[in-house]
Structure 1
Amino acid sequence: MPVATSVRMPAMLAAAALALAACATDSDPDDSADPAGQDVDAAVEETTEPAEETPTEVTITTAQGEATVPFRPQRVIVVEHGILDTIDYLGAGESVVGIPHHAVPSYLADYTTSTENTGTLFEPDYEAINAAEPDLIIVGGRSAATLPAMEAIAPTIDLSFGWGSEAFMTTFETNTTALGQIFGAEDEAAAALAEVTAGAQAVAADAADEGPGLVLMTSAGEVSAYGPSEEGRFDFVYNLLGVEPAIDQVAIDDHGDAISFEFIAEVDPSLLIVLDRDAAIGEEGEAAQAVLDNELVNSTTAVANDNVLYVDTEKWYLSFGGLTSVNTILDEVGSLVS
């Protein structure tokens, strides 16, 4: 009998252990269950909304109306330096694979080593553009006329800037907003626009009592003037930044109205804003300071009071309309009238 007892004891202990284990399983809820016995992970999975999908396209406003283009394109050809300026400002420059290596402003010169050369602003190299396999091409201004030919290669948009204060501000805001939408930088674009608007208002307030001003441009030893005009290239100086015009615009021309030194002396502006076109486009020629260094110009109130601004012509002339260039313009005119 002792032998039979010893045999039964391990069997009884094993059965007891199994019973205890079963009780523990029934009485101790799993960590993933709530007090009602519901699986918490399953409940979370049922109530969590699916993540919003990243769009593949975005609809924007361009100079030619609304257009639908790729969202965050990876291979972009830009044939407008002001637009390249804004893309760079918004931190999306890595997507640019081709630009015209022609008259590129010095502050954007790194793009001539990181991108394919796509010709000039006026005469694109269509073969090079096609070989770059772009998913988006952006033209504007000097290159706007190439839009139909570009569209045969890839989706193409025209982000030209308007002239005259109202047209310029409308297109500046539209283009900046569009680029923010395309590259997923809408907040950055909106903040930049707000900063420009506030800056322009501040400059206009300072310019109100500074007397009449005149915008001049020198090229090949000749001098042209720009007055206020709804179609004028630098109308924004007067009707946006508040500089009182010393003259009216006589003729609408890309390069202003040709004038003489006698005319400048007769008008006698209190402020002079001077662009050196030769320096901006890399042409050899007499510097603007040398061209205007004569007895007639030196007799003006502007020179006498040291109120002559020789601007960063690359930004005023080559990349006009970009966020960096516009901020530079505000800083320069602001320093003249403050």
Structure 2
Amino acid sequence: MLKKRLLTLGAAAALLALTACGAEATAPADLAGAATVTVEDNNGEHTIATPLTSVVATDNRTFETLSDWGVKLTAGAVALMPDSSPYTQDKSIVDLGSHREPNLEAIVAVEPQVIINGQRFTQYHDDFTKLAPNATVLELDPRDGEPFDAELKRQVTVLGEVFGKQAEAKKLAGDFDAAVARVKAAYDPKDTVMGVITSGGNINYAAPGSGRTLGPLFDILALTPALEVEDASTDHQGDDISVEAIAKSKPNWILVMDRDAAVSADDAGYSPANELLEKSEALKNVPATQEGNIVYMPADTYTNESIQTYTEFLNSFADALEAK
């Protein structure tokens, strides 16, 4: 699926000269210059000319990876980036705004070669192809029907090919797999697990499999659900079922994503997830609460659902399991 083809004419000439002289064929230093990389994303195969001088990113899952790899952005969805991202401090990056009121036309001036699009900006794929016809619009969102863990690793693997960070991508995938293995080794399938999302002062249900962010972990880790309901959704705030119904399922473990921590932590009315759960009368007698078996995802998860975020959370979950 992934392959590189060097196009440097000088390199080809040098190789021909070496062959003609009967010398041992060794690659000249400038082979690392202009080249192409061919990768496959959700929409098919793309051949991208490198080195890249103008990169745009709108996919929240990719911001941490790109930043860690030192990828310079000329434009991006800065309004959607967590405050923890170094990109938010880089005033040279053209802010395309949020997906609700985007300034898509702003990419025209930066003449991008690659637009790493996805998540909240997926709907603007065709707009980007029209505004930047010479750019490759690369989309690597996890695909429906594919194993979520494999999709997270596919994303960083493809990005590693594009930016020449194959070793770094391999390490990210390996760290994720190691965290998954830790959880599986420590988890007892007899213990039931509940996923919840706190939002707007409410504790909502994250359905196994389909629930936002936490849902896929049930399949990846082979967790035993404490509760399953019909017609569960992928809603970003979770499903609105009563806290009493959650409590009645008596989960041994509760996994939590605090949605508001990423988007409204500075608001006067913000209630942290740990306070909501600790103050809930309905949940105070469930096994997970009584035994301290509540594990929280990183605060910026809602705007940073990267493979690094999942790895960090899985290691926290493994720590809690191993401590029992």
TM-score, structure 2 length as denominator?
0.81
Q: What whole-Å deviation, never above 9, does each CA across 1:229-284 have from its counterpart, x for those lacking one?
A: 26764233211123321112531232332122211221111111122211211263
Matched, 1:169 2:111: no
- Quote how far apart the aligned CAs of 1:225 are: 0.8
The whole-number CA distance in structure 1 between the counterparts of 2:85 and 2:163 is 19
Q: Which of the numbers 2, 5, 23 marks the counterpart of 1:47?
A: 23
The whole-number CA distance in structure 2 between the counterparts of 1:126 and 1:216 is 34
Find the counterpart in structure 2 of residue 280 from structure 1.
262
Find the counterpart in structure 2 of residue 157 from structure 1.
138
Moved more, 282-291 or 183-192: 282-291
Structure 1 pair 163–222 and aligned structure 2 pair: CA distance change class (3 A): farther
- Quote how far apart the aligned CAs of 1:299 are: 1.0
Q: How many residues align?
A: 292
Q: Which of the numbers 168, 192, 195 marks the counterpart of 1:212?
A: 192
The whole-number CA distance in structure 2 between the counterparts of 1:230 and 1:281 is 22
The 5 Å alignment of 1:308-319 reads 308-315=294-301, 317-319=302-304
The whole-number CA distance in structure 2 between the counterparts of 1:43 and 1:228 is 61
User: Which SS does the other structure have where 1:259 is aligned?
Assistant: coil
Counterpart contact for 1:137–1:155, Cα < 8 Å:
yes
Unaligned runs of 5+ in 2: 1-17
Find the counterpart in structure 1 of residue 85 from structure 2.
108
Find the counterpart in structure 2 of residue 203 from structure 1.
183
User: Which SS does the other structure have where 1:102 is aligned?
Assistant: helix
Q: Which of the numbers 34, 50, 53 marks the counterpart of 1:71?
A: 50
The whole-number CA distance in structure 2 between the counterparts of 1:78 and 1:237 is 26
The whole-number CA distance in structure 2 between the counterparts of 1:74 and 1:249 is 49
Unaligned runs of 5+ in 1: 1-41
User: Which SS does the other structure have where 1:214 is aligned?
Assistant: strand
Query: What amino acid is aligned across from residue 320 of structure 2 in structure 1?
Result: L
Find the counterpart in structure 2 of residue 304 from structure 1.
290
Find the counterpart in structure 2 of residue 244 from structure 1.
224
TM-score, structure 1 length as denominator?
0.78
User: Which SS does the other structure have where 2:65 is aligned?
Assistant: helix
Higher helix share: 1
The whole-number CA distance in structure 2 between the counterparts of 1:72 and 1:332 is 38
The whole-number CA distance in structure 2 between the counterparts of 1:106 and 1:162 is 28
Which has the greater radius of gyration? 1
Q: What whole-Å deviation, never above 9, does each CA across 1:296-316 have from its counterpart, x for those lacking one?
A: 11111111101112321412x
User: Which SS does the other structure have where 2:240 is aligned?
Assistant: strand
Matched, 1:136 2:102: no
Structure 1 pair 65–58 and aligned structure 2 pair: CA distance change class (3 A): same
Q: Which of the numbers 190, 201, 205 marks the counterpart of 2:170?
A: 190
Find the counterpart in structure 2 of residue 127 from structure 1.
105
The whole-number CA distance in structure 2 between the counterparts of 1:210 and 1:307 is 14
- Quote how far apart the aligned CAs of 1:138 are: 0.9
Aligned residues: percent identity? 23
Moved more, 63-72 or 49-58: 49-58
Q: What whole-Å deviation, never above 9, does each CA across 1:195-229 have from its counterpart, x for those lacking one?
A: 21122122112123571111111111222111222
- Quote how far apart the aligned CAs of 1:122 are: 4.3
Matched, 1:267 2:246: no
The whole-number CA distance in structure 2 between the counterparts of 1:230 and 1:308 is 21
The 5 Å alignment of 1:59-98 reads 59-89=38-68, 91-93=69-71, 95-98=72-75
The whole-number CA distance in structure 1 between the counterparts of 2:188 and 2:208 is 16
User: Which SS does the other structure have where 2:38 is aligned?
Assistant: strand
Counterpart contact for 2:39–2:158, Cα < 8 Å:
yes
Counterpart contact for 1:76–1:135, Cα < 8 Å:
yes
